[in-house]
A and B are shown apart, each in its own frame.
Chain A
Amino acid sequence: MELTINGKKEIIDKGKLTVGILLKLKDIQMPEMVSVELNGEIIDRKDYDKIELQNSDIIEFLYFMGGGNYGN
C-alpha cells in the first residue's frame, strides 16, 4: 500500500500494518520520542498497536525538540 510519511510517498507491503509496526519499521525504537498524526488527527499512544493503516493514509511523525538555552 502507498502511504505518505512526513510528506514523502512510500510503498510498504507488509500485510497488516499497525502504527506500532510502522514505528518499528522506521527504526523508531522508543515511541515516547514521537507523536503520530494520522490523516490530520493526533492519535493516542495506547492505540498504536490497534490502529491499522490503510492505503493512501497520511502519516506525520512529530519529534520532540528542546533547544534554545535556559538555565542549563
Chain B
Amino acid sequence: MNFTEEQIIRYSRNIILREVGGEGQRRLLESKVLVIGAGGLGSPILLYLAAAGVGTLGIIDSDVVDLSNLQRQIIHFTPDINIPKVDSAKSKIKQLNPDVNVITYKVRLSSKNIVEIIKDYDFIIDGTDNFPTKFLVNDACVMNNKPFSHAGILRFEGQTFTYTPGNMCYRCIFNEPPPKGVVPTCSEAGILGAVAGVIGTIQAVEALKYILQNGDLLTNKLLTFNALTTQFREIKLNRNENCPVCGKSPTIKELQDYEQPVCELKL
C-alpha cells in the first residue's frame, strides 16, 4: 500500500512513533474492528479508531439517539435525536476521516447472527450496557478464537480487560449473568459521562496495540478505575480451569441468549 500525500500528513503523528511507523499505519488501514454499541463507550472508541485510520469499522446498534444519551455519547449531537445511532455515528466518522470504510448493523445481536458478523473482523470491542449481550459476545469470541475488549461502567467506576485466545475470559471471572435486579444499569444508577470516555479510550488503545502488535495487552488482568479517588487498580487474574466456556471441561458448547431484564426505572 502506498500512502497518498494527504495520508502522510493526516497520520504523521502516528507514523513518527517508532512503534507505529509506515508499517504500523499500513496495518491500521488494513485492519477491521467491530464496535458493539454506539453509546457511552462506543463513542470515544469509534472516534479514536477512525482518527487513527483503522480501515474498516463495523458498528452494531439497534437504537436511535435519545436526548438523555447526549450527556455521555459524544459521537451523537443534538440534531441527531431520533436518528439511528449507527447512521449518526457513521456520518461523524466519515466527516472525521473519509479513509474509513464504515459498515453498519442496525440489529440486535443474538446467538443467531453474532458468529456471522464477527467472523470478518480482526478485533471486537464490547461497548454494550447489558449482561446478556456481554456474555454472548464473550462466548462467541471464545468459541471462534476472536480477540475482544470487554468493559463495564457504573456511576463513577469502570473496569476493562482484553481477551485473546488462550487467556482468561469474562466467564472465568463471572460464571453467569447476575440475577435480575441485583446489579443496576446506568439508566437506573447513573454514570458520569467522562468515565465512559476514560474506559472507552482505554478500549480503543487496546485495539490499536493489538493491531500494531506492540506493547502489553490487558490480558489476564482486570483494570478498574475509580473516578472519585482517581485510582486505577490492576487485578491479576488467571484463566479459571472450571470456566464453563474456556475451562478444562466446558459445559457451554453452544451460544445462548439470556433474557434481558426489563429496566423498570427509565430516566
Contact = CB atoms under 8 A, between A and B. Distances in A.
Contact of A68 (B62, B128, B172, B222): B128
Nearest to B263: A72
Q: Which of A33, A37, A64 has the most CB of B within 10 A?
A: A64
A70 B178 contact: no
How many interface residues does chain B have, given as a range? Answer: 35 or more
A30 interface: yes
A69 interface: yes
Given A35-B174, A72-B263, A67 B40 contact: yes
A23 to B, nearest CB: 14
Interface string B123-164: 000111111011000000000000000011110011100000
Interface in A21-72: 30, 32-33, 35, 37, 40-42, 44-45, 60, 62-72
Contacts of B153: 65-68
Given A66-B130, A69-B63, A72-B263, 11 more contacts: A35-B175, A62-B235, A64-B178, A67-B129, A67-B185, A68-B37, A68-B126, A68-B152, A69-B41, A70-B36, A70-B61
A70 B152 contact: no
Most buried by B among A40, A62, A70: A70
Given A32-B178, A62-B222, A68 B127 contact: yes
A66 B175 contact: no
Contacts of A37: 173, 235, 237
Contacts, number: 124
A18 B173 CA distance: 20
Contacts of A72: 63, 129-130, 185, 187, 263
B8 to A, nearest CB: 35
A68 B199 CA distance: 10
A69 B186 contact: yes
23 contacts: A6-B233, A30-B182, A37-B173, A63-B183, A64-B131, A64-B152, A64-B183, A66-B131, A66-B153, A66-B154, A66-B185, A67-B129, A67-B152, A67-B158, A67-B185, A67-B196, A67-B199, A68-B128, A68-B152, A70-B42, A70-B127, A70-B128, A72-B185
Interface string B222-257: 100000000001011110101000000000000000
A15 interface: no
Nearest to B154: A65
B31 interface: no
A6 B152 CA distance: 18
Contacts of B72: 69
B206 to A, nearest CB: 15
B172 A70 contact: no
Interface string B38-63: 01111000000000000000000111
Contacts of B129: 66-70, 72
B187 A70 contact: no
A42 B237 contact: yes
Contacts of A60: 235
Contacts of A64: 131, 152, 174, 178, 182-183
A71 B62 contact: yes
